[in-house]
Structure 1
Amino acid sequence: MLRTLKRRLTAVVLSLATALGGSLLATGVSSPAHAAVPDTIPLTITNNSARGEQVYVYNLGTQLSTGRQGWADANGTFHAWPAGGNPPTPAPDASIPGPAAGQTKTIRMPKFSGRIYFSYGQKMVFKLTTGGLVQPAVQNPTDPNRNILFNWSEYTLNNDGLWINSTQVDMFSAPYTVGVQRADGSSLSAGRLKPGGYNGVFNALRGQSGGWANLIQTRPDGTVLRALSPLYGVETGALPASVMDEYINRVWQKYSGSTLTVTPFGDRPDVRYFGRVSGGVMHFTNSSGAVVTSFQKPDASSVFGCHRNLDAPNDQVRGPISRTLCAAFNRTTLFSNAQQPDASAAGFYQEPVTNHYSRIIHAHMADGKAYGFAFDDVGAHESLVHDGNPRQASLTLAPFN
């Protein structure tokens, strides 16, 4: 699932990179102003899960100084992956023993764009192809990680600082929070569930009609492992492919007779694009009336994945428009608001046909913020923390209640 990792990491940093006028974070290029960021910073892992299983931690990603893929050990030392094969060959054991329940452990994070994985009770299985690392794909019932309880956080650490998130883009699973301590000693955190929020998410999915309960995966012994994202629900048939059709069709009809205005840059309110549906295609024009990009009518997969008919290249026109459009489709605000993006979350997920997975997760977060889909950062509704001069980072494994 290399495409998935690339899309997820893009989601973490693209909005800031776009605002800066390029792919600053994606490339690892940094400005002299933050050159004081050290080569590694501490990551303190705290196990508040109250679970007795052994925890395993993995730090996998791309070394920004060289572009090589690999892993970091507990000291933050980079190790490049060896050559893979076809069929995929086993990857070296990159696991780091994590802290026991009630304990903490500190490792070092290098200048990576990658993921911190953690698993309970069993090491994860990673393999290498000729193209690099094969990510877990638990929507596939034959994936070797299918019955392992695990989760991950995505991060980028470079000379401009640290970005680290709590993500539910691919699945909702083992609960955790992330944080960063700034140079002045103050801290920021993200990803904390409300009391009872972990079980609350699964219970709400079970109670939502239309197939949403089918997103939940359990082990043969009945242990709840995760809820898949609706993108994977559609891909596996757990959700009907038509699950968003009613809303999408109404939106397309609405903008056949009216105009959708997209203002994709928060710091450039004068840059606006205007969408109208003609001949079944939504065409966007700029202020001069020239068509700058066009979108075929999306389906549920395009909406939930922010891809295919809603592809978002890392450019200055189509990508920012598509990000905004995709966020509005997932939040189902396009019919109620012709000025996008929305300034407030008050109107999100109010339609009967909506991304109920994202709606439910946001409703159970302590601050209402989450990464329920790839571009949930449109309007700053994502569970992400950033600091330009981080002293240290934190990952807290939370209770399963």
Structure 2
Amino acid sequence: MRSRLTRRSLVTAAAAGLVAAGLAVQAPSAGAAVPDTVPLTLANNSGRGDTVYVYTLGTLLSTGQQGWADANGTFHPWPAGSVPPVPAPDASIPGPAAGQSKTIRIPKMSGRIYFSYGRKLDFRLATGGLVQPAVQNPSDPNHDILFNWSEYTLDNDGLWLNSTQVDMFSAPYAVGVQRADGSTTTTGHLKPGGYNGVFDALRAQPGGWGGLIQTRSDGTVLRALSPGHGVEAGALPASVMDDYINRVWQKYASTTLTVTPFADRPDTKYFGRVAGNVMNFTDSSGAVVTSFQKPDADSVFGCHKLLDAPNDQVRGPISRTLCAGFNRSTLLVNPNQPDSSSSAFYKDSVTNHYARVIHERMADGKAYGFAFDDVGNHESLVHDGNPRQAYLTLDPLA
């Protein structure tokens, strides 16, 4: 999957992106108990004095329309866009001041909850839908704004809400949900000092990883780009994963890679062997079911292009597993994928150091450091089938 952030159509971004991230986009079912809107409490623990702006943007699941929701959870469709893109209506909701909280309502949509500090975000409408920020582009109007977003789906089967670093690591936040029994679960909090710790670790990592960091002219550190965006922007060498990829290809020319992509279907296995520049996967009968050309760093980091993962039952699940193994650098130490434990993740000197340093600094170890970080359930996601309350907490930038 290409970065969700650069998708022009929010219906594509939300639906394709959330599925890839493990957030199922399901059609509503009759008679469900989930209400049309759910309260979302925003708590501002950032310690910053900047004005906060909040946006709920996405696709209304009942109609497929793209649009935005106001603080009451009322959906508003976007007007038609044009070429060149025109400014979108102001969908911002005033957020809570530092040390305060505010409750809004979110409707049954699949989309994102953006928040920004100090300035409103600049959204545009093209003929294909909403143009979202693309901060890997230095001329993007949102480049110098400190902002971030969460992804969510609310439908008749419940709420899926995540914290994501798939496109960038920036202003920290956590997500939570209160269940019908009153219990609450949260994820996404960094360890004390974790925010600055991520940037310090990237700066210290040889190989150009510090080039992912973007800083405003006043010295404010805004974000670290994901490595896929870093390669795209020329901030990270395109050859950064070549050594590991070459070693994997060499190993599986004489060894079989066994992929068991479904935890609930352990008898479904696929077997990979490299012949020349291609890894062929066969099923238990020996028939070739799909093949992958030798990937490059961009394909690995983005889990797309040469590692494309369609929403099917064969190639997509195999590709997800390969993508996770490459990013976590476990393919050389374990010919049976995916790994069931994180103990061997990111141990090779050639790995996705961006995802590594983020996971290391998460309080619960969970993160979406790349698109298929949910392989093996290592993602920062909360879900409940009958949510009473959702939470998004803005954490300190320290």
Q: Does TM-score exceed 0.5, indicating one fold?
A: yes
Aligned to 1:158: 155
**Structure 2 residue 376 is matched with structure 1 residue 379:** yes
Which of 179, 201, 205 aligns to 1:204? It is 201
Which of 310, 315, 324 aligns to 1:313? It is 310
Aligned to 1:183: 180
Query: 1:32-67, CA deviations, whole angstroms, 9 ceiling, x for partnerless residues?
Result: 5x7000000000000000100100000000000000
**Structure 2 residue 274 is matched with structure 1 residue 277:** yes
- For 1:155 and 1:63, the matched residues in 2 are separated by 12
**Structure 2 residue 109 is matched with structure 1 residue 112:** yes
Query: 1:304-347, CA deviations, whole angstroms, 9 ceiling, x for partnerless residues?
Result: 00000000000000000000000000000001100000010000
TM-score normalised according to structure 1 size: 0.96
Which of 235, 239, 261 aligns to 1:238? It is 235
Shift of 1:279: 2.5
Aligned to 1:250: 247
Query: 1:231-274, CA deviations, whole angstroms, 9 ceiling, x for partnerless residues?
Result: 01100111110000000000001000110000000000000000
Q: Give 1:81's aligned amino acid.
A: W
Shift of 1:13: 3.7
Aligned to 2:3: none
- Contact preservation (8 Å) 2:21, 2:371: no
Alignment: residue pair count: 392
Which of 59, 62, 66 aligns to 1:62? It is 59
**Structure 2 residue 309 is matched with structure 1 residue 334:** no
- For 1:156 and 1:78, the matched residues in 2 are separated by 14
Residues 15 and 63 from structure 1, CA distance in 2 versus in 1: closer, same or farther, beyond 3 angstroms? Answer: same
Helix, strand or coil at the partner of 2:290: strand
- Contact preservation (8 Å) 2:66, 2:129: yes
Aligned to 1:29: 27
Helix, strand or coil at the partner of 1:256: coil
Aligned to 1:134: 131
Helix, strand or coil at the partner of 1:238: coil
- Contact preservation (8 Å) 2:14, 2:59: no
**Structure 2 residue 85 is matched with structure 1 residue 80:** no
Shift of 1:4: 9.2
Helix, strand or coil at the partner of 2:253: helix
Aligned to 2:366: 369
Q: Give 1:172's aligned amino acid.
A: F
Q: Give 1:50's aligned amino acid.
A: G
Q: Give 1:99's aligned amino acid.
A: P
Which of 7, 10, 17 aligns to 1:2? It is 7
- Contact preservation (8 Å) 2:203, 2:210: yes
Shift of 1:15: 7.3
Helix, strand or coil at the partner of 1:337: coil
Q: What aligned pairs does 1:336-351 form with structure 2 within 5 A after superposition?
A: 336-351=333-348
**Structure 2 residue 261 is matched with structure 1 residue 264:** yes
Aligned to 1:20: none
- For 1:16 and 1:61, the matched residues in 2 are separated by 17
- Contact preservation (8 Å) 2:28, 2:62: no
- Contact preservation (8 Å) 1:12, 1:165: no
Residues 190 and 272 from structure 1, CA distance in 2 versus in 1: closer, same or farther, beyond 3 angstroms? Answer: same
- Contact preservation (8 Å) 1:8, 1:169: no
- For 1:239 and 1:383, the matched residues in 2 are separated by 26
TM-score normalised according to structure 2 size: 0.96
Which of 210, 215, 220 aligns to 2:212? It is 215
Percent sequence identity over matched residues? 75
Residues 16 and 57 from structure 1, CA distance in 2 versus in 1: closer, same or farther, beyond 3 angstroms? Answer: closer
- Contact preservation (8 Å) 1:11, 1:377: no
- For 1:15 and 1:46, the matched residues in 2 are separated by 25
Aligned to 1:46: 43
Q: Give 1:29's aligned amino acid.
A: A
- For 1:4 and 1:41, the matched residues in 2 are separated by 25
Residues 232 and 371 from structure 1, CA distance in 2 versus in 1: closer, same or farther, beyond 3 angstroms? Answer: same
- For 2:294 and 2:13, the matched residues in 1 are separated by 21
Shift of 1:31: 4.0
Residues 74 and 399 from structure 1, CA distance in 2 versus in 1: closer, same or farther, beyond 3 angstroms? Answer: same
Shift of 1:280: 1.4
- For 1:82 and 1:151, the matched residues in 2 are separated by 24
Query: 1:87-146, CA deviations, whole angstroms, 9 ceiling, x for partnerless residues?
Result: 100000000000000111000010010000000000000000000000100000000000
Helix, strand or coil at the partner of 1:358: helix
Query: 1:191-220, CA deviations, whole angstroms, 9 ceiling, x for partnerless residues?
Result: 010011001001101100110000000101
Q: Give 1:203's aligned amino acid.
A: D
- Contact preservation (8 Å) 1:42, 1:107: yes
Which 5+ residue runs of structure 1 have no aligned equivalent?
18-24
Helix, strand or coil at the partner of 2:27: coil
Residues 31 and 11 from structure 1, CA distance in 2 versus in 1: closer, same or farther, beyond 3 angstroms? Answer: same
- For 1:280 and 1:129, the matched residues in 2 are separated by 40
Residues 15 and 90 from structure 1, CA distance in 2 versus in 1: closer, same or farther, beyond 3 angstroms? Answer: closer
- Contact preservation (8 Å) 2:8, 2:128: no
Residues 238 and 14 from structure 1, CA distance in 2 versus in 1: closer, same or farther, beyond 3 angstroms? Answer: closer
Shift of 1:30: 3.6
Which 5+ residue runs of structure 2 have no aligned equivalent?
1-5
- For 1:212 and 1:4, the matched residues in 2 are separated by 30
- For 1:217 and 1:88, the matched residues in 2 are separated by 26
Aligned to 1:21: none
- Contact preservation (8 Å) 1:311, 1:319: yes
Residues 4 and 248 from structure 1, CA distance in 2 versus in 1: closer, same or farther, beyond 3 angstroms? Answer: farther
- Contact preservation (8 Å) 1:214, 1:239: yes
